[in-house]
Amino acid sequence: MQLLLLLVLLSYPVQRVSGQLRGETCMCPINITTWTFPTLRYEAVQQLVESCQDSINMQNDQMNVSSERLPKMQALLRSLEVRLEPYNYMENQGLHTVKWLQTLGQEMKKLETDIGHLHHETGDTDTHALFQEATKLREDVEKMYVYDSLKIVAVKEQMRYLKNRAESCRSIPKDFRGTHSSCLKGLITNISSPVVTKVSPYGKSYTSGSWGKQAQRNSPNYGHSYWVQPLVSTNAWGNTLRLYSSYENFIASTNHEEVTFAPSYSNTNANEGPSTVLYGDGLFYHCYNSADICRYDLTTKTMARITLPGNGFGFNNKFPYCYYSCHPYSDIDLEADETGLWAIYVALGSHGNMVVSRLEWDGNALNITQTWETRMFKKAVTNAFMTCGVLYATRYGDDSYEEVFYAFDTATGREDHSLALPLEKVSKGVASLSYNPQDNQLYMYNDGYLLAYQAMF
């Protein structure tokens, strides 16, 4: 009210009057009848102040509403950003640009040339038909420059299929059926109940690791050996292995040899993830903190390494086996079957789908000979194994069983999603699952339990 009265008085005209000085006091006569209180002006100013107050209250209300809505808007923005990530990825990868079409065309020309050379070497009808398909696909890509860009995904899939077929033509030798007669049985039709159920000699506290039997047939050394390897550091890394010379010693947990293949679990030659294979004299596994595969020679105590092919790989928990829940550091999986050694992993260019590479040890170096791309997302499976050149994948059923539900045949490039083979287990988590070509058994490391099953074809 005092502020309002001051505003009114300040707005009123000033009177000028004359006065007399009496001592130290100035006396001025004032006619107060000429200075009436400005009631109308006071009311006008009062209305103006009230209007300002209403405006301020309205602004405060709007600010309160904005404060309430801002977190919701920010959450919506974050949600949109997450939803846009796949599209941004595709844009960054150039999947919908002319530049990508040009790159695809160049890749198709190279594939056509490679298949042409392959046909020149073999001269059979299969490679001739493959060459014709590659030529047609390359011509389709060239047409996309003009009018057909919407078929990019279909062409990409067809290109993957042709690559796989070309790899299959190159990898299957003329005497394949004679050399691997045990592989003429087709896909697995049934899996037994566990024929071995044993607690790991390290105890159930080591929930991640792997175990198995010598995988190479007619191996002169370690031919009847069994092994168990726990992951000792946060269920992710390890550097030791327990080796048994016979099945009897393994069952009785006696007469074992402790093998230390790296100075520590954080050494560059240590093991990362629950995937180890004993093949001949060599221990094959995923090298610590890298996209490399290691081979430790049990006889000479020497180490060999090889980097997986391509532009990049998922390791350090980027693409582990997941499905129901992810198993730590299971990015790169080493397997063995009747045809040799395999690596199952994810290359960054495969968009999270599993890639299968054939490995070969020539006595001096570890090599990668062929690579196939599947359409199975690696995080959609709990584990995988190889049998006769066929990749099998499992998924979580419940805490008491897994299910083999998928197969990819490297000989034909064909996939089968119709499998439904139950696989009993003792506990929920499956750290590793491997096939052994000597006894046709599957070996599972199941939360510290060691299980083995008989595979039937």
Task: Let me know: does 402 contact 392? Beta carbons within 8 Å.
Answer: no
What parts of the chain have a pLDDT lower than 70? 1-17, 29-40, 42, 59, 61-105, 108, 118-119, 122-123, 127, 141-185, 310-314
Burial bucket for residue 216 (CB in 10 Å: 0-12, 13-18, 19+) = buried
pLDDT for residue 233 = 73
What residue ranges of the chain are covered by domains with CATH 2.120.10? 181-456
pLDDT for residue 176 = 40
Q: Tell me how far apart the alpha carbons of residues 193 and 452 are, in angstroms, rounded to a whole number.
A: 8
Task: Let me know: does 377 contact 387? Beta carbons within 8 Å.
Answer: no
CATH number of 181-456: 2.120.10
Task: Let me know: does 271 contact 229? Beta carbons within 8 Å.
Answer: yes
Strand partners for 229: 210
Q: How many CB atoms lie within 10 A of CB 411?
A: 18
What is the reported pTM?
0.65
pLDDT for residue 334 = 94
Integer CA distances (angstroms), 319 to 89, 172, 179, in order: 17, 30, 35
426: which DSSP letter?
Answer: S
pLDDT tens profile 147-165: 544 455 566 666 666 666 6
The alpha-helical segments, DSSP class H, found in 269-322 are none
Q: How many CB atoms lie within 10 A of CB 11?
A: 12
For residue 228, the one-letter residue type is V
Q: Tell me how far apart the alpha carbons of residues 174 and 185 are, in angstroms, rounded to a whole number.
A: 19
